[in-house]
Chains A and B, each alone.
Chain A
Amino acid sequence: MIDGVLGGPVDQDYLLQARQMQAMSFAVHIPLVCFGIAFPAMVLFLEGLWLRTGDPLYRALAKRWSKAMLILFAVGVVTGTILSFEMGLLWPEFMATFGDVFGLAFMVEGFSFFMEAIFIAIYVYGWERLSARTHMLAGVPMVVAGITGSLMVISVNGWMNHPTGFSIRAGEVVDVKPLAALFNDNLWHELVHMYLAGFIVAGFLVAGVYAFGWLRGRRDRHHRIGLVVALSVAALAAPAQLLVGDWAARTVAERQPVKLAAFEGLEETTKGAPFSLPGGIEIPKLLSLLAFHDPNATVTGLDSVPEDDRPPTGIVKVSFRLMVFIGSGLAALGAWFVWLWWRRRRLPRSLWFYRALVAAGPAALVALIAGWVTTEVGRQPWVVYQVMRTESAVTGASGIPVGFGALGLVYLGLAAVAVVMLRRLSRPPLEVGP
């Protein structure tokens, strides 16, 4: 365990507010990341359909989606900038001590971000005056950069949970190996989990817009295509997410047993641990089975570490359950659609399906944020797992509550205006060219 190169822990009365401010900034940015991951692929898919069939409706829809994509990207650019600033403004000791270990990931992310900004601009502003082929090709780097950018940020988060690529000697970070830190063992499951989450959140939210129209009687081809394309993406990703979630949970069980204990609120280390349901019902041995695929496995409890080293259990437990519960519901909803489409080639007729779809987008958002709360709060009290405590990382500057309040107000305003503008964008009838 180390203190940091800037002089060690400082008196900071507002550590909790600093964490909440960071959490709020993530919660605002992460949904936009989902669109950064999924929207370019969805838009390009529509454009591909246009090039293949020549049906101008596909083009018109791709163009409209691309405009929403640009607005969401722009808002993501600025909310992502806040995160970059906050890394230093709130956690200077963390950055000063470990920036050289994990920074390489952000270098690669920086270039991805450049590519995304450049090609989204060329794509969205190039609809009219670039040849169809050039335009489609300009969309490819946009999709790739959306993936590599998030890959690299996830790498840093994976590293914080499973820090590798350095040693500690006499309280100092030595033997820095940036590549080992970049390709840490947590990268892969976190990446796939987040990547699928991106498609689930963006897919269900976009599908929800069309489902809402559907319920109000707008069932023309435009709405049908918009619904099916967005929904297909989410419906395929949601069931797959259950498997990836299992992979992620087993990795946590193995590498961060105390975090897993917090997921379940398991106080004592137990052999054949049960899974507790709300209302005090316990299913014997299920937790051991889920975490290790062995009903008699021993699951480490919170009591394995001193009280000071335990994460806040309540919020982690609730968030974890919320994520699993919503994720399962979304998987079922997705499976319903996939089954019907595969066997009968038609959309569900039940109005309840469309009502569920309208709710699915916001629910997916809640699950996304609950998932991040689970992993981030579950990592506490560590900023770098079992190496640096969050209280050692925080800034010595004053005024955290003022900054928190100001940013909160700005984000409220931004969110309100963005929602109004995006709704306005979706409203006028689609103008279809030749």
Chain B
Amino acid sequence: MLPDLTAGVALLALTAYVVLGGADFGAGFWDLTAGGAQRGAPVRAMIKRAMSPVWEANHVWLIFLLVVLWTGFPEAFGSITSTLAIPLFVAALGIVLRGGAFALKGEAATIAEARALGATFALASVIVPFFLGAAAGAIAAGEVPVGNAGGEEWTSWTHGTSLLVGALAVAAGAHLAAVFLGADSRRAGETELVHAFRARALGSGAVAGALALAGLVVVRSDVPELYDDLTSGAGLACVLASAAAGLVTLWLEWRERFELARYTAAAAVGAIVAGWAVAQEPYLLPPDLTVHEAAAPDATLVALLVATGLGMLILIPALTWLFRLALSGRLVYEDKPRP
């Protein structure tokens, strides 16, 4: 019971990070592909405005996930970080470059500076989800044994499943970002941007859906056990739920119902994460280490769960307030004093 609840907390943190953090990385993808300095300026301005007040809070979900893992499942944490040191380290470097460049590019004085920082931000925004996704794919594929660097340092995460999960992470983030930014643009009354992001949401949604389907094919030959669990029982239910939510999102985007689309897009991505968890249940590190075997002693799990419960009591109202203020356009930094 306690190990399952703790795994539930980890899954919640992971889902929140994939949806909220993923959308911030996706915004970076659209920044990267927005075109020349002049043509891309409105898109980039919207991204900056939407992301600035929330990206740090969204990023904390990753830290929270790491902490839950090393406190609740320390053996698994040590095994993952030592075997998957390369993709995780590249992702960590990407996180520094992405966050640092985003925080500092606001002060850029020349076009060259803004371009260099903007490009760093945008490129790192693609690298981070790709490598984190590849690491997740390695775990799902059963490439991480218990031990200090017990798995293969390269081939554990360079096989088809890993690369596909990495690509899917980038595409899903881009899709979420386009949906969220489209809704933000509508709220801000930027009609041209609404259409720009709507087109991006439709396109990226199609790509993400195609990648998810291709993923199933790759998983079928790469990791048959995982494929079986994804195509039966609760795993199948999650896959179907994700597909349905994805299709509804595309329909909502088509009909320009952007606010509702935020939630269905998040559900589509969240269902993939849940599907992964359900498919590899009861294992934390397939094929050997189960959630129950990996769990910390009860005293630690009780403390972790109580701390999480109490923490959520303050976190949820605070986050709600932040998102409300941000969505209603009340969090904007203006250098000039009020007239």
Chains A and B form a bound pair: yes
Using a CB–CB cutoff of 8 Å, the interface residues on chain A facing chain B are 4-7, 10, 56, 60, 67, 70-71, 73-75, 77-82, 84-89, 92-101, 103-104, 106-111, 113-115, 117-122, 124-130, 141, 174, 176-179, 395-399, 403, 406-407, 410-411, 414, 417-418, 421, 424-425, 431-434
A93 and B148 form a contact (CB under 8 A) = yes
Contact for A5 among B54, B75, B97, B99, CB less than 8 A: B75
Q: Kindly identify which residue among B71, B331, B334 contacts A106, using a CB–CB cutoff of 8 Å.
A: B71
List residues of chain A with CB within 8 A of the CB of B1. Answer: none
Residue with the highest number of chain B CB atoms closer than 10 Å, among A70, A82, A130, A178: A178
User: Assuming A79-B96, A110-B311, A126-B330, is B337 touching A120 (CB within 8 A)?
Assistant: no
Q: How far is the CA of A156 from the CA of B25 in the complex (A)?
A: 31
> Are B318 and A100 interface neighbours, CB within 8 A?
no
Contact B314 A74 (CB under 8 A): no
CB distance from A257 to the nearest CB of B (A): 31
Output the nearest chain B residue to A94 by Cβ-Cβ distance.
B78
User: DSSP class of A's interface residues: helix, strand, loop or mixed?
Assistant: helix
A-B contacts, CB under 8 A, total: 270
Q: Which residues from chain A contact B71 at a C-beta distance below 8 Å?
A: 99-100, 103-104, 106-107
User: Which residues of chain A are near B60, meaning CB under 8 Å?
Assistant: 77, 110, 113-114, 117
Which of A108, A126, A399 makes the CB contact (< 8 A) with B307? A108
Partner of B88, one of A85, A94, A104: A85
A271–B306 alpha-carbon span in the complex (Å): 49
A103 touching B95, Cβ below 8 Å: no
Does B72 sit within 8 A of A, measured CB to CB?
A: yes
Interface hub of A10, A56, A77, A109 (most chain B Cβ within 10 A):
A77
- Distance in angstroms between the alpha carbons of A73 and B325 in the assembled complex: 20
Closest beta carbon of chain A to B74's beta carbon, Å = 3
Given A88-B81, A110-B64, A115-B315, A101 contacting B300 (CB threshold 8 A): yes
- Name the one of A77, A177, A417 contacting B99, with C-beta atoms under 8 angstroms: A77
Complex alpha-carbon distance, A79 and B297, angstroms:
31
Q: How far is the CA of A103 from the CA of B67 in the complex (A)?
A: 7
A118 near B331 (CB under 8 angstroms)?
A: no
Task: Name the residue among A75, A118, A395 with the largest chain B CB count within 10 angstroms.
Answer: A118
Additional A-B contact list (10), CB under 8 Å, known A121-B54, A125-B326 = A6-B79, A85-B81, A101-B300, A118-B321, A126-B331, A127-B333, A128-B334, A396-B148, A397-B153, A399-B153
Closest to A418 in B: B104
B99 / chain A contacts, CB cutoff of 8 Å: 74-75, 77-78, 81
Chain B nearest Cβ from A119, distance in angstroms: 7
Cross-chain pairs A/B with CB under 8 angstroms, 30 sampled: A6-B150, A71-B103, A71-B107, A74-B102, A75-B100, A84-B66, A84-B67, A88-B78, A88-B80, A95-B70, A95-B78, A100-B296, A101-B300, A103-B304, A104-B304, A106-B71, A117-B60, A121-B53, A122-B53, A127-B333, A128-B332, A129-B331, A141-B318, A176-B296, A178-B299, A399-B153, A406-B93, A410-B93, A417-B104, A418-B104
Whether A74 contacts B88 by the Cβ 8 Å rule is: no
Q: When A122-B325, A176-B297, A177-B299 are in contact, do A6 and B95 touch as well, CB less than 8 Å?
A: no
Shortest Cβ distance from B59 into A: residue: A77
Taking CB atoms, residues of chain A closer than 8 Å to B79 are 6, 92, 96
A127 to B333, CA, bound (A): 7
> B269 contacts the other chain (Cβ, under 8 Å)?
no
B214 interfacial by beta-carbon distance below 8 Å: no
Cα-based distance from A399 to B149 in the complex (angstroms): 12
Distance in Å: Cβ of B20 to nearest Cβ of chain A: 12
B149 near A397: Cβ-Cβ < 8 Å: yes
Q: Are A122 and B331 in contact (CB under 8 A)?
A: yes
Q: Which residue of the partner chain B has the closest CB to A77?
A: B56
